[in-house]
Every structure is written in structure tokens, then in C-alpha cells.
Amino acid sequence: MESKQNVSKLNKIFFFIIIQIVLSCTIFYLIRIKMENVTEIEQPNKIVDVPQKPFYIILLWTRPFNYHFPLNNCPQPFDSSDCFFTLDRNMFSTAKAVVIHHRNVCNSKQQLPQIPRPPNQYWIWFNTESPSHSPNLAFMDNLINLTMSYRADSDIFAPYGWLEMHNETQNFTIPEKTKLVAWAISNWNPSSRRVKYYEELKNYLKVDLFGKFYNYIPLAKTEKLATLSKYKFYLTFENSIHEDYITEKLWTNAFLSGTVPVVMGPPRKNYERYIPADSFIHVEDFPSAKELASYLLALDKDDQKYQQYFNWRSTYQPTKQRRSWIVEYCRVCKALKEAPVYRTIPSIAEWFK
């Protein structure tokens, strides 16, 4: 009898344990289900990485002159948070804009996009060269929606340089000068106006030539500004004469090295749209190279008059931000955010001449 009672007690204990296990498992399961269905609002401290689709996809149809540079790395003051730059042509159909660098596609119309074009996609014509060095502009007829170049009347203005105003008046120290005139040139064309002018000018004063070709002094990029800063004057002779075509020859070689530029380019009034009238010497201010040479030699002997060409630097300074490809493309992002009017330009050649 007692044995049966013991067995009964053991059965009850075993059954109780089974019930507890079942209940525990059920409660654990219900809690797990509840936790899996908790919303993000109920877990405010949880961080979820959700891929954000960019608002504007900007396709670079080619690398300009095949230069490699980092994309999606716009410096200040450009805000590119709503833009995504890519070289992947598979993204053509979703791109808000396609940037076409002229010199990379000017040999054949087959180098332009041949894919069916999505509605209202902007094709942006990008060019840093002058009309004289921009062949086959007719390829762009009735294709381009926005222009980007050094021309001030471009839809996207991309100058070679610019002046910035000081917050307060500053004193500029003129670099020590030990030499007179320098000129760095890489494209030597004996029939060009600038070479012909130099050939006459050198008869009246000494000009030190730097560059890659012809018979001039080698000049490493890392030493360029330090070397040119020793000269009082620098010949900023452009390879062709066109409106607003004022290149790094002025902004970098002359201004950043602290020399006085002697310019050959568009008319004086065009230069004065961007730089002070007393910051440069224009070859057209003189009837001949001989008289220009006489003026430079006179300035060389008159420190006070020479220093007047630096008075503007108490108020302004040339930008120290060297021209870079990524900056040019960052301008595209800014322009798209400003919602430019969508229209097609009948002829780039007619405008860019």
C-alpha cells in the first residue's frame, strides 16, 4: 500500500515538472514572438543602416583627358549630399545628368552616348579648351541641355581661377626678385602669334624659357612657383585669343608665384571683369614689342612704380585652390539642385565662338 502511494507521489511530481517545462517553453516562445515584432519606434536607440538612394545620379561619360581622380568627394563649399557621381554607363537610364567632356568625344559621333535617352535627362557639355582647340562642335547640335566652361555666360561657370576678398586689409610681401622675365610654354608653334611676339621681344630684353619642348630650361611642377617667384614679370601668353579664355598661366603661374603678369589674350576690358586694372600689363597697351620691353626695363629700375602692381593684394588674393577635376564636377551637383530650365541648345558652335 505504501509503495503505491510513493509511486503516485512520484507521478504527480513528474507531471508537475512536465507542466512547468511546457509553461516555460510557451512563455519563452511568446516573449520571442513579441520581441521579433517590436517596431523601430518601440526601440528608439536601435540604429538601422538603410541604403539611401541618391536624389541625383550624375554620370561622367568619360574621364576628362583620362585623368583619374576620386569621385563623390566634393570639398567645401560644395554640398554633394544629394548627388552620386559615377563612371558606370550601366546607370545611364537612371542618371539625372550625363557630363560629356568635349575633347574625349570630338573625334567621332560614335563616342557620344548611343543609348536611348530618358526624358528630361540633362546632357552637360563640358569644355576647358578654347574654340581654336575644340574641333567638331557640330557633333553637339540639338543634343546639349547645359554648358559648363570657362565662359562667364555658361550655364555652369567653371573658371580657371578667381579672386577672393580679404576679411580685412592685409600687407603682401613681394617675393625677393633676382631675375627679370620668365615664360613657361609646352606647345611651341613658330607660326603662332605668341611665339612670333616672343621672337621680337627677346631682341630687346632677356626672357628665360621653361617647358618640355624646344630649347628651354626644365621646370619640375614641385619647383615651378618657387622658381617663377624670383622673376619680376611672367609672360601669360594664351595659345589663342577668345572671350574669357584666361587660364592657369595667369591664375597659377603668375599670381600664385607673386610675379606681375604680362598678358596676351582677350582685350584688357575682358581681363578687368575678373582682376584689377593695375594687377597686370597687357601687350596691347604698347604699339610694339620694343616699347613693351622699354617699359619693363624702366619698371625694373623703379621699385616704387613696380610695387604699385601689387597694391590690389591688400584687398584681394587669388584663390589658392588649384583647379581640379572633382571641383568642376561638383559644380554640376550644385547646378542641378537649382533646377535649371530644361531646353536643348541648337548649336554649341554658334555660341562658343
Domain edges within the chain: 56-160+325-351, 163-318
Tell me if residue 83 falls in helix, strand or coil. Answer: strand
CATH class of residue range 163-318: alpha beta
Region 272-277: mean pLDDT is 98
| C-alpha torsion sign, points 42, 46, 51, 55 | positive
Q: What percent of the chain has pLDDT over 70?
A: 83
Q: Cβ atoms within 10 A of the Cβ of 145, count?
A: 19
Q: What is the pTM of this model?
A: 0.81
Helix orientation angle between 289-300 and 193-201, rounded to the nearest 10 degrees: 60
Task: Find how far residue 62's CA is from the centre of its chain.
Answer: 15
Q: Which helix (H) or strand (E) holds 342?
A: none
Q: Is the dihedral of CA 41, 43, 45, 47 positive or negative?
A: negative
Active site residues: 129
The arithmetic mean of pLDDT across residues 10-16, rounded, is 53
The mean predicted confidence, pLDDT, of the chain is 86
User: Are 211 and 239 contacting, i.e. CB atoms less than 8 angstroms apart?
Assistant: no
From the centroid of its chain, how far is CA 301? 41
What's the confidence (pLDDT) of residue 20?
A: 53
Pairing of strands 163-165, 316-318: antiparallel
What is the per-residue pLDDT for 137? 97
Q: Which of 282, 190, 296, 289 is nearest to 241 (CA)?
A: 282
Q: What is the dihedral of CA 209, 214, 217, 218, to 10 degrees?
A: 120
For the ranges 32-41, 266-275, 306-315, the lowest mean pLDDT is seen at 32-41
Q: Where are the alpha helices (DSSP H) in the chain?
A: 2-36, 102-105, 193-201, 224-228, 248, 268-271, 289-300, 303-307, 325-337, 348-351
Q: Considering all CA atoms of the chain, what is the largest pairwise distance in Å, rounded to the nearest integer?
A: 139
Q: pLDDT band for 216, please (50, 70, 90 cuts).
A: low
pLDDT (average), residues 197-212: 93
Contacts 24+ apart (CB under 8 A), 113-119: 113/61, 113/89, 115/89, 118/93, 118/94
- Tens of pLDDT, residue by residue over 100-113, are 999 999 999 999 99
Q: Which range, of 214-218, 245-249, 302-306, 310-314, averages the lowest pLDDT?
A: 214-218
**Tens of pLDDT along 22-65?**
445 544 443 343 333 333 333 333 333 434 556 899 999 999 99
Give residue 199's pLDDT: 96
Rounded distance between C-alpha atoms, residue 10 and residue 6, angstroms? 6
Q: Indicate if the pLDDT at residue 7 is higher than 80.
A: no
Contact call for residues 281 and 272 (beta carbons, < 8 A): no
Q: Residue 209: which of 189, 188, 191 has the closest Cα?
A: 188
Span 90-108, mean pLDDT?
Answer: 97
Cα separation values, 304 from 240, 301, 308, Å? 33, 9, 7
Given a cut of 70, whether residue 131 has pLDDT beyond it is yes
Residue 139 pLDDT more than 60?
A: yes
pLDDT, residue 222, reads 81
Instruction: Give the Cα separation of 335 and 80 in Å (integer).
Output: 11
Q: What is the pLDDT of residue 299?
A: 98
Condensed to tens digits (0 to 9), the pLDDT of residues 145-192 reads 999 999 999 999 999 999 999 887 788 899 999 999 999 998 889 999
